[in-house]
Amino acid sequence: MVLAAGLGTRMGRLTETTPKPLLDVGGETLLGRQLARLAAAGIAEVVVNVAQHGRRIRDAIGDGRRFGVRVEYSDEGPEPLETAGGIVKALPMLGGEPFIVANADVLTDFDFTRLALDGAEGQIVLVANPRHHLQGDFALDSRGRVSERGERLTYAGLALFSPSLFAGLAPGRRALKPILDGAIARGGLRGLKHEGLWIDVGTPERLAEARKRVSRRGEDRAGESDAKAAGRREADR
């Protein structure tokens, strides 16, 4: 499930006409990039939740085929249901197996194949605290379980959840953190730390940073390709 129902109010004028998941970063939308990363990890079916700007997102993404996945949409109406509320609404579409949840507005190179429940109710991805969230959210213990005690890290908006974590919850607006807190108290939430690229594209400044990072990585990859090609030409002589 990719979460794309947020209103993006912190982006100012940038999201007056364009939903935040459709903002361009390096020639592709944020949402498109996330769908492509899921496809690269072997994910074939994705539910995208939408709200106020649902029609524009549907028109831009379509059935998801060009990203390598099949997309269905969970429409929450004019007002988003928050993260857990959106998941609860989409549960009938997600099936009975564990499912990935990813924020649409996160730029990352995280490899989704790293996620595994191993008997837990969920596993969340954590990153070093960014400047805008220095207090962090959770900690990790030595056994890879999420804890409230220890060095604080920030929830990356990427996770793998068992449907049982949301079973029996009533529909409606609902935040995710109280549900994660309950799983932590039961010892049922695992975590892993991602050390690579991760930007929460929540403000115009972070959007600019994301665009710079993508441009820089593209230049680096082009340089690597040129170097490899030069090496091949040298070897052919």
Residue 167 has pLDDT above 60, yes or no: yes
Mean pLDDT calculated for residue range 138-160: 96
Cβ contact 26:221 at 8 Å: no
pLDDT of residue 217: 73
Residue 19 has pLDDT above 70, yes or no: yes
Length of the chain equals 237
pLDDT of residue 221: 54
The pTM assigned to this predicted structure is 0.89
Name the least confident of 41-45, 127-131, 206-210, 214-218: 214-218
Mean pLDDT calculated for residue range 69-76: 98
d(CA 121, CA 93): 19
The H or E element containing residue 218 is helix 204-236
Tokens of 26: 């390096």
pLDDT of residue 227: 31
Find the CATH number of the domain harbouring 158. Answer: 3.90.550.10
- Residue 189: which domain range? 2-236
Residue 222 has pLDDT above 60, yes or no: no
Number of domains the chain contains: 1
Residue 232 has pLDDT above 90, yes or no: no
Percent of the chain with pLDDT over 90: 83
Phi, psi of 235 (to 5 degrees): -70, -25
pLDDT in tens, 99-113: 999 999 999 999 999
pLDDT of residue 218: 67
pLDDT of residue 225: 39
